[in-house]
Copies of this chain bind each other. A is one copy, B any other.
């Protein structure tokens, strides 16, 4: 294996994270060390920038500028949701040839790994020597092979801190509080709400994960039981909350049927009417309830609030205080809530990719692996895995191309995580705020 001399292109793709720029800066700083890498080009908006030859000179950036960008959330180069077709990849490859690009690093999730894989294949077919590496990032933590993904831990830390605060808030002014958490396919982020628990009876008291299915009856009865026991309830729900058919609730005919059986037709009517708003704004492809989109809308939270309020009123005859928040984009880009571990590992992922490429590996994806330690201390190393394995591009139909939470991390009753999950996740988040509680001392 030997290195090749030429220019380097790095791009960022997909949903932002709090540490995706750490990986960018890791790539740049490692590249600066190697004589075989001449120009260091940043592609604006991922492969879209490559296609229009829109590059920023990263070699010329001041050290402090890079360090400032590293601690700034979201893609400093701009991102894209563009999933290149084979034809696009051919065009990308032409741009690379024109600019003598010999190193390509694509920071992103599953789709980015796939894009890198296709570009790599074309380069091989054309006998053009190109080093192609996927640098992992996703708040969803659903990449294959790796122990965990850069970006996840900071988002998990945000979720944990939001729930710590929400729990204190809910104790302070009791009621039912529901928080909807990102992660359509996998429950990793919703599960991180468990890390908010510090004192006895701390919430969340109930979780719903996309790896399991739930009926409306199960949901409202569980919420009511918790409310009866604790006089309050803090509930963490994944935006991927699904029915027994695997459909998310707001796109489910089964859920519609359950609502009718529970005589909650007013809710069906409201969801249908809300769906018709979309017709005004460009006629998106709509589901049963008219909600194509999960993020950036409060629809699920408001829906859950409505069913719990209704159920509690029918059960108790009293109007309960029920509130629901959708945690929103702050999960992936809140400034100033970064896991120290995540920041270091995201930087390392970028550095490792360049180091491995310069050392002669032709392609790959960077994955993390825990190292057993005698003291029980968290130790983790990064290394190369194959692009094919990480992107799952050649998997047979029916095999998941993303990584759900393992069964050992989900409690048997499906409404919580296990202690094993907490043990696995806790070291990733770095420091968490103190959560104090007054001792229950009597007067006199």
Would B336 and A161 count as touching, CB distance under 8 A?
yes
Which residues, 1 to 47 on A, are CB-close (under 8 Å) to B? 12, 15-16, 18, 21, 39, 41-42
Query: Which residues of the partner chain B approach A328 to less than 8 Å between Cβ atoms?
Result: 325-328
Query: Which residues of the partner chain B approach A333 to less than 8 Å between Cβ atoms?
Result: 165-166, 168-169
Quick one: given A61-B438, A74-B165, A79-B172, are A269 and B280 in contact (CB under 8 Å)? Answer: no
Q: Does A55 contact B (CB under 8 A)?
A: yes
Would A71 and B330 count as touching, CB distance under 8 A?
no
Would A270 and B274 count as touching, CB distance under 8 A?
yes
Would A335 and B165 count as touching, CB distance under 8 A?
yes
Query: Which residues of the partner chain B approach A60 to less than 8 Å between Cβ atoms?
Result: 439, 441
Distance between Cα atoms of A79 and B174 in the complex (Å): 9
Most chain B CB neighbours (cut-off 10 Å) among A57, A61, A66, A77: A57
Q: Interface stretch among A119-127, A291-299, A400-408?
A: A291-299
A89 to chain B, nearest CB (A): 21
A8 to chain B, nearest CB (A): 11
Q: Interface stretch among A110-118, A205-213, A316-324, A346-354?
A: A316-324
Distance between Cα atoms of A173 and B432 in the complex (Å): 29
Which residues, 58 to 76 on A, are CB-close (under 8 Å) to B? 58, 60-62, 65-76
A237 to chain B, nearest CB (A): 14
Quick one: given A61-B439, A282-B309, A325-B328, are A165 and B270 in contact (CB under 8 Å)? Answer: no
Would A162 and B438 count as touching, CB distance under 8 A?
no
Would A73 and B438 count as touching, CB distance under 8 A?
no
Most chain B CB neighbours (cut-off 10 Å) among A41, A439, A442: A439
Q: Does A301 contact B (CB under 8 A)?
A: yes
Among B61, B266, B324, B441, point to the contact of A57 (Cβ < 8 A): B441
Would A443 and B298 count as touching, CB distance under 8 A?
no
Would A436 and B65 count as touching, CB distance under 8 A?
yes
Most chain B CB neighbours (cut-off 10 Å) among A80, A172, A264: A172
Would A325 and B296 count as touching, CB distance under 8 A?
yes
Across the two chains, which residue of chain B brings its CB closest to A263?
Answer: B280
Quick one: given A71-B433, A323-B296, are A81 and B173 in contact (CB under 8 Å)? Answer: yes
Quick one: given A172-B78, A296-B324, A299-B298, are A165 and B334 in contact (CB under 8 Å)? Answer: yes
A298 to chain B, nearest CB (A): 2
Would A325 and B329 count as touching, CB distance under 8 A?
yes
Q: Does A434 contact B (CB under 8 A)?
A: yes
Would A438 and B326 count as touching, CB distance under 8 A?
no
- CB 8 Å contact bits of A78-120 with B (1 = contact, 0 = none): 1111000000000000000000000000000000000000000
Would B438 and A169 count as touching, CB distance under 8 A?
no
Q: Does A394 contact B (CB under 8 A)?
A: no
A294 to chain B, nearest CB (A): 11
Q: Does A332 contact B (CB under 8 A)?
A: yes
Quick one: given A171-B74, A172-B16, A280-B264, are A61 and B441 in contact (CB under 8 Å)? Answer: yes
Would B281 and A310 count as touching, CB distance under 8 A?
yes
Would A436 and B270 count as touching, CB distance under 8 A?
no
Would B281 and A313 count as touching, CB distance under 8 A?
yes
Would B298 and A298 count as touching, CB distance under 8 A?
yes
Would A326 and B298 count as touching, CB distance under 8 A?
yes
Distance between Cα atoms of A16 and B171 in the complex (Å): 10
Distance between Cα atoms of A87 and B123 in the complex (Å): 83
Chain A residues at the B interface, C-beta cutoff of 8 Å? 12, 15-16, 18, 21, 39, 41-42, 55-58, 60-62, 65-81, 161-162, 164-166, 168-169, 171-173, 177, 196, 264, 266-267, 269-270, 272-274, 276-277, 279-284, 295-299, 301-302, 305-306, 309-310, 312-313, 318-320, 322-330, 332-337, 432-444
> What are 24 sample pairs from A and B whose C-beta atoms fall under 8 A apart?
A16-B169, A56-B441, A56-B442, A61-B438, A65-B438, A72-B168, A74-B168, A77-B438, A166-B329, A166-B330, A177-B296, A269-B276, A270-B274, A277-B306, A281-B312, A281-B313, A282-B309, A282-B318, A296-B323, A298-B298, A299-B302, A325-B329, A330-B330, A336-B337
